[in-house]
């Protein structure tokens, strides 16, 4: 058992060292992206799953750790899309409740940080418009969210996309 554990640790060390040479992967930043850096599809799925399951990407984006930087390994125009796609189900639950870490992060990424309480109230009130069907995906959510921000007099003036 001990020998197997040592081999597993050695393999992980070799893989992580080799992965250090490559750049940012498609899963964005976060613990999963630090552990699974290769561009192979299976590694990208594992990285995205790890980031989504542990909810660490939000922490990394907020603090500038876990491979996330404010300057952006992810371009600011794509940052919101990546965040929503990675954390979609948690965002869906929190927008319905009008509160939560993911929903507040989405408010900031949508340029509504100063009006996050109002953003959360609008998203809760307009939940049915944000998620018109069970098949609503991340891209449709963002399109619907942008429409609702533009339609709200206070948010449209305060939020900068």
Flag whether the pTM goes above 0.85.
no
Tell me: pLDDT of 129 over 80.
yes
| CB atoms near residue 130 (< 10 Å) | 23
Look-up of token digits 């930087």: 69
Over the stretch 26-46, which tens digit does the pLDDT of each residue have? 667 777 777 777 777 777 777
Half-sphere exposure of 160 (CA within 13 A, CB side): 3
* Closest C-alpha among 26, 136, 114, 149 to residue 78: 26
Q: What is the pLDDT of residue 4?
A: 57
Q: What is the pLDDT of residue 11?
A: 47
Look-up of token digits 């399951």: 53
8 Å CB contact between 52 and 86: yes
8 Å CB contact between 58 and 39: no
56 vs 18: CA distance, rounded Å: 23
Q: Output the six-digit token pair for 157.
A: 């003036």
């Amino acid at each position: 058992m001990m020998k197997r554990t040592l081999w597993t640790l050695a393999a992980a060390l070799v893989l992580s060292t080799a992965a250090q040479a490559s750049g940012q992967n498609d899963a964005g930043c976060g613990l999963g992206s630090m552990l699974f850096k290769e561009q192979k599809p299976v590694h990208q799925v594992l990285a995205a799953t790890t980031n989504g399951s542990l909810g660490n990407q939000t922490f990394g984006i907020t603090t500038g750790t876990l491979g996330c930087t404010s300057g952006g390994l992810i371009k600011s125009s794509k940052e919101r899309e990546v965040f929503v796609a990675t954390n979609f189900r948690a965002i869906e639950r929190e927008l319905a409740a009008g509160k939560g870490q993911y929903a507040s992060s989405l408010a900031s990424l949508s340029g509504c940080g100063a009006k996050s309480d109002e953003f959360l109230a609008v998203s809760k009130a307009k939940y049915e418009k944000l998620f018109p069907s069970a098949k609503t995906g991340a891209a449709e959510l963002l399109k619907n969210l942008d429409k609702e921000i533009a339609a709200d007099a206070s948010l449209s003036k305060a939020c900068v996309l």
